[in-house]
Homo-oligomer: A and B are copies of this chain.
Amino acid sequence: MSPESAKSLETKTKLLDGALRTLTEQGIAKTSARTVAAAAGVNQALVFYHFGTVDELLAAACRYGAERSVARYRQRLAEVTSLSELLAVGRRVHEEERAGGHVALLGQLLAGAQTHATLGPATAAGLELWITEIEQVLTRVLASTPFGEFADPAGLARAVAASFVGIELYEGVDAAGATSALDALEQLGVLVAALEDLGPVAQRAVRHHLRRTGRR
């Protein structure tokens, strides 16, 4: 579509990577055309030449980075078939995120989107990539749970994604607290997972009860 020269594309890529690095390492408050350009090793004014405004650079970086991040986990998530597996994968993802910080980056953009109108749609789109993956996993995983037929995977996927962002942000100010939060969730997940092998009779009883009582 756009017959882009190699030179232009190289500069753009440098800026996108620089934006991601600056956002994760410095946060939205310290992210500016100058700091990003410094991280990218190019002249500050190129931000405006190639992307128009700082916000549009950040929006583009969000799309660029979110796709790359989700791709890293897509394979692993696709192989998950049970709740306990999902919990294990979730824990692994968190370990990697502690280093990479791609989820906390979404938190920074979410915070920035409050004012910078351009960032809103881009950030929502970036989160949507995560949500899509999570929704697929949840749909598979919840099926084998007594809650399966009642729960809404689409809504839950949004809740999980947003919660994870919140927890990764929380980790920045209280690492021990974040760990205990994840431990507690994991333990809760293990309990629900235990319901998966309740035995067919008991499981049917629970389902039946939920059907009568649990409807809103």
Contacts and interface: CB of A to CB of B under 8 A. Distances in A.
A181 B166 contact: no
A90 interface: no
Interface in A76-112: 104, 107-108, 110-112
B184 A158 contact: yes
Contacts of A216: 186-187, 190
A111 B169 contact: yes
Contacts of A9: none
A162 B120 CA distance: 21
A115 B167 CA distance: 17
B173 A127 contact: yes
Contacts of A195: 206, 209-210
Number of copies of chain A assembled together? 2
Given A166-B169, A169-B166, A178-B158, A183 B110 contact: no
Given A26-B115, A27-B115, A178 B162 contact: yes
Contacts of A108: 111, 114
Contact of A184 (B116, B119, B152): B152
Contact of A169 (B107, B119, B206): B107
A5 interface: no
Given A114-B26, A209-B194, A214-B191, A124 B177 contact: yes
A159 interface: yes
Interface in A157-184: 158-159, 161-167, 169-170, 172-174, 177-178, 180-184
B155 A110 contact: no
Contacts of A191: 147, 150-151, 210, 214
A71 interface: no
A113 interface: yes
A159 B169 CA distance: 12
